[in-house]
Each structure stands twice: as C-alpha cells, then as structure tokens.
C-alpha cells in the first residue's frame, strides 16, 4: 500500500491532461485562443460520462423532469427580455502601466494582476454575450446572440413542453449544452473559459413553495457531487449576499469546491422566481390569452399554468440548479489525481475516478505481445467486454505489464485484465484481474470475467472492497 499521498498542482494537472489526451489548448498549432479548450480521446469520455451521470440522475431517476435540447443561437429578443442585454456584464479595468485588461471585481487590494500597479482606469461595464451575424445580410438588424446560459432555451419552450407532456407543477425541464461568455479574463485552465458546457435544470413550482424547493435542491445537488467522488471536506455552500445576486434571483446558494486555485463556484442553485417566464410573457405580442397574472407583472401572460382548481392562471416560480460541466471535469480530475510513494520507494500517479466516470472501463493486457495465443485470447476478451456497452475497453499491447498498469493508473482505468502463460494451464482458462486503487490482484476463470465486469460496474466500488 502507498506510504504517502499528495495531490497534484494545477500545472501538473494541465500537463498530464495534455500528455495523456484529456484536454488540449484549442488551436494550439496557431498559437491558441485564450479561454478555449478541446477535449481529447480520454477527456471526451470523462466529460460524456459526467454529463450522462447528471442526465440519469435528473431525467431517468426522477419522474418529475423532462429533457430538452434547444438551439445555441438565440433570437435577440430572448436576451433583451431576459435582461441579459442590459445587465449581463462585468466591470473591466485597464492597467495604464502594463496595458493589461482585467475584471475590476477580481482585483486584490485594487492592484493590477500582472504588474501590481494601482494606476488603473475606472471600471467600465463589458457585456459578456457574443454577437454573431445571422443570414446572408451583414447589417445591424440581422444579428443573433450565442446563448450565455442554456436556461433561456428552457423558458421559451416552457409552453411547448407543458402542452406536449401534460405536466402538472411541480416539474422540471433539464438541458445540457454549450454556452458562450466573452469573459474578460479567462483563467485557471478549464475553470473560466469562453465556451463551456452547462447542465441546467429549471424546476417549476407554485409560488409559496419555492423556498422549500430551493433548500431541497441545494441538498440534492450537494449529495450528487459527493456521489461523483468529490471529497465532502472540499465542498461547501455559499449563500450569496443580497447585493451580489443576479438580476433575476431572489436567493442563490453556490456549491463551492476547493479547486487547486482555491474554493470557487462549481454550481449555483438559484431561486429565479417568476422573473423569466414573467418577462417573456409580458413581452409577447399575442397577449390577452389568459387572465391577469401575479402582482409582479401587470400585463397578461402566456407562459402560465392553471392552479389545481383549474380556475386562476399564474406564472410558476423556478428553482435552477445550474452546474458547469467543464468545472465538474476539473473538480473530479483534481480530486482524483494522487501522487503516491510506494513501499519500494517508487512513485505512481493514480487517477482515482469513480468507475462510472472512468474513460476506459478496463484494459486487457497480453503478457507477451508476440505470443499469438495470448494476443488472440486478449483481443477476444476485450471484444466481449466492449459488447457489454458499459464504455470503452482498451486492448493494451505495450508489451510490458508493469508499464501498462502504470499507464492505466494514470488515466483512471479501474481494472486491468492480464492474459499470461498460466491462462492456458490448469483445468480451465483463467486471467489476472488487477484493481487500480488497492493494486491487489486476483485470478479468476475466464468464463466469469463478463459477469464480474458487469457486477463491478453495477456496484460502482473500487479499492479492496471489490473482491
């Protein structure tokens, strides 16, 4: 067993991610673009697995949530009426000495991040939305926005989903997908980027029940992050003070995680009240469809539901757990990466991911890559396990079992299955199974491998407990 453990720094994580094919700087052959990253062969698996885990827990394991996939390009009126056009901005300042540009609300002691000078310009508001030209005409009227959050796509489809599913309150609509923000200072690897993915749920409730639902969702979400393997002592809640709340929120609780650069927001759980449905309703042309709605909105609304007695229409309140998928990937990577010094003095890097998140579900390793019988048997096992559709299974023929184990420890593969000369000895064919965290090995008959593999992933356990 390892004698000493230590976590990796952000620099270690960035270089490991590049070396092992998790995450690359986007357009690096052209010098890169700041705040944009590409996910490589292992990164895409990890990201897909984390997104799938979210979707399963939100949509498949609940009976009060529907899914949606709305467009990334947004009609300008959506973001005018949502308030983003006027208020979705950050204060930007310039350093007169080194000409660096930075966020005015992120300064330490009012000093320039880069050179420490206090010779800064007054803050100016900078809108974070990306504008794009839409259609063949390049004039001021034919523009669109790239969505800065997935939420608005849910609000504008509220009625479509309600009408097509006959849902009653409380119910939610879940969506994952890209969002775009022209951040003034993208930084800390994939923590703050200009193109990122969100996992958002808009959960519609009756006004008056919103505070109770808000508390419930904060707890559900906190528990979910723990289930993804994040250490409980690295997670904490932050109740946003009133003056920091977004324009749409009555209350917001952030779930903070201790990233390598410190405690920062991983997910925000906001009580958005009836602000969004209300303002999209208020601004519809086809008003007068329903009766008067809540006191907040003195116009007639469209995005409304009827109360239980079927009499009055009202605008539902909404609770929004909004998580960043890229921040989630960074959190599970930084929580999982460990540098261990083993009893024999050697060092191993191991990525202790929960099995459902691991990019490779197993590696099948032939002891001798020139032995036809061993190679064939290894390929046969890898194929069988792949067909179980639990995720990628790698046939790993680097020809050195020790190296193969180290390589797979580093990328978080929970199981290695080795075919060796003993495989063909004895009454029945057998293989060695090696578990990632405990490094323990066990021999099992080949006929039991598929069953073991399925049970291992159903139980989701790692370490000594798997045998």
How far apart are the two ends of the chain, measured CA to CA in Å?
Answer: 16
**Contact with ligand ATP (CB under 6 A): which of 272, 327, 408, 436?**
327
Cα–Cα distances (Å) from 376 to 364, 368, 382, 392, 432, in that order, read 11, 11, 10, 19, 16
> Closest approach of Cβ 374 to ligand ATP, in Å?
46
> Closest approach of Cβ 40 to ligand ATP, in Å?
18
Does 258 sit near ligand ATP (CB under 6 A)? no
DSSP state, 195? E
What is the distance between the alpha carbons of residues 347 and 341, in angstroms, rounded to a whole number? 5
**Contact with ligand ATP (CB under 6 A): which of 181, 280, 408, 434?**
181
Do residues 282 and 290 make contact, with C-beta atoms less than 8 angstroms apart? Answer: no
Size of the site for ligand ATP (CB under 6 A): 16
Residue 128 burial class via C-beta count within 10 angstroms: exposed 0-12, middle 13-18, buried 19 and up = middle
Does 196 sit near ligand ATP (CB under 6 A)? yes
Does 68 sit near ligand ATP (CB under 6 A)? no
What is the distance between the alpha carbons of residues 271 and 209, in angstroms, rounded to a whole number? 11
- Before 170, cis peptide (omega within 30)? yes
Does 228 sit near ligand ATP (CB under 6 A)? no
> Closest approach of Cβ 69 to ligand ATP, in Å?
18
> Closest approach of Cβ 150 to ligand ATP, in Å?
9
**Contact with ligand ATP (CB under 6 A): which of 45, 66, 94, 183?**
183
What is the distance between the alpha carbons of residues 231 and 17, in angstroms, rounded to a whole number? 21
Does 321 sit near ligand ATP (CB under 6 A)? no
Does 202 sit near ligand ATP (CB under 6 A)? no
Which residue has the closest beta carbon to ligand ATP? 324
Taking residue 435's Cβ as centre, other Cβ atoms within 10 Å add up to 20
Q: Which is nearer to ligand ATP, 147 or 181 (CB)?
A: 181
Does 322 sit near ligand ATP (CB under 6 A)? yes
Does 324 sit near ligand ATP (CB under 6 A)? yes
Largest CA distance in the chain: 83
Does 248 sit near ligand ATP (CB under 6 A)? no
Q: Which is nearer to ligand ATP, 229 or 268 (CB)?
A: 268
DSSP state, 38? E
Provide the Cα torsion 289, 291, 296, 298; round to 10°: 70
- Near ligand ATP by CB under 6 A, which window of 115-123, 264-272, 276-284, 311-319? 264-272
Does 251 sit near ligand ATP (CB under 6 A)? no
Residues contributing to the site for ligand ATP (CB under 6 A): 149, 181, 183, 192-193, 196, 198, 265-268, 322-324, 326-327
């Amino acid at each position: 067993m390892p004698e000493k453990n230590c976590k990796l720094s952000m620099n270690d994580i960035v270089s490991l991610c590049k070396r092992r094919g998790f995450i690359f700087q986007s357009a690096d052959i052209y010098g890169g673009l700041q705040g944009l990253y590409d996910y490589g062969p292992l990164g895409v698996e990890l990201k897909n697995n984390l997104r799938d885990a979210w979707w399963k827990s939100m949509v498949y394991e609940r009976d009060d949530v529907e899914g949606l996939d709305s467009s990334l390009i947004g009609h300008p009126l959506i973001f005018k009426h949502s308030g983003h056009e006027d208020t979705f901005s950050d204060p930007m300042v310039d350093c007169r000495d080194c000409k660096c540009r930075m966020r005015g609300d992120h300064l330490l002691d009012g000093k320039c991040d880069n050179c420490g000078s206090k010779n800064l310009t007054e803050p100016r508001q900078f809108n974070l939305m990306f504008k794009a030209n839409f259609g063949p005409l390049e004039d001021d009227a034919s523009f669109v926005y790239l969505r800065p959050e997935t939420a608005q796509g849910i609000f504008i489809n509220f009625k479509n989903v309600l009408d097509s599913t006959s849902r009653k309150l409380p119910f939610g609509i879940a969506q994952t997908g890209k969002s775009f923000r022209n951040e003034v200072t993208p930084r800390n690897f994939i923590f703050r980027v200009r193109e990122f993915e969100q996992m958002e749920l808009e959960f519609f409730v009756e006004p008056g029940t919103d505070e109770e639902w808000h508390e419930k969702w904060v707890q559900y979400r906190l528990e979910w992050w723990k289930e993804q393997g994040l250490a409980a002592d690295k997670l904490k809640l932050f109740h946003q003070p009133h003056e920091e709340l977004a324009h749409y929120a009555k209350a917001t609780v952030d779930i903070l995680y201790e990233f390598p650069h410190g405690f920062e927001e991983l997910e925000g759980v906001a009580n958005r009240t009836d602000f969004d449905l209300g303002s999209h309703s208020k601004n519809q042309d086809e008003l007068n469809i329903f009766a008067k709605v809540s006191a907040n909105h003195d116009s007639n609304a469209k995005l409304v539901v009827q109360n239980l007695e079927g009499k009055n229409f009202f605008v539902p309140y909404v609770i929004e757990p909004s998580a960043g998928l890229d921040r989630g990937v960074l959190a599970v990577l930084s929580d999982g990466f460990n540098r261990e010094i083993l009893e024999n003095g050697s060092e191993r890097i191991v990525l202790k991911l929960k099995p459902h998140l691991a990019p490779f579900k197993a590696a099948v390793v032939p002891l001798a890559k020139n032995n036809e019988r061993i190679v064939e048997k290894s390929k046969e096992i890898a194929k069988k396990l792949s067909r179980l559709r639990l995720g990628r299974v790698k046939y790993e023929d680097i020809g050195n079992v020790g190296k193969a184990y180290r390589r797979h420890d580093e990328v978080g593969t929970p199981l290695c299955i080795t075919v060796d000369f003993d495989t063909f000895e004895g009454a029945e064919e057998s293989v060695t199974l090696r578990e990632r965290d405990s490094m323990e090995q066990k021999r099992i008959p080949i006929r039991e491998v598929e069953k073991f593999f399925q049970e291992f992933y159903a139980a989701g356990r790692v370490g000594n407990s798997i045998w």
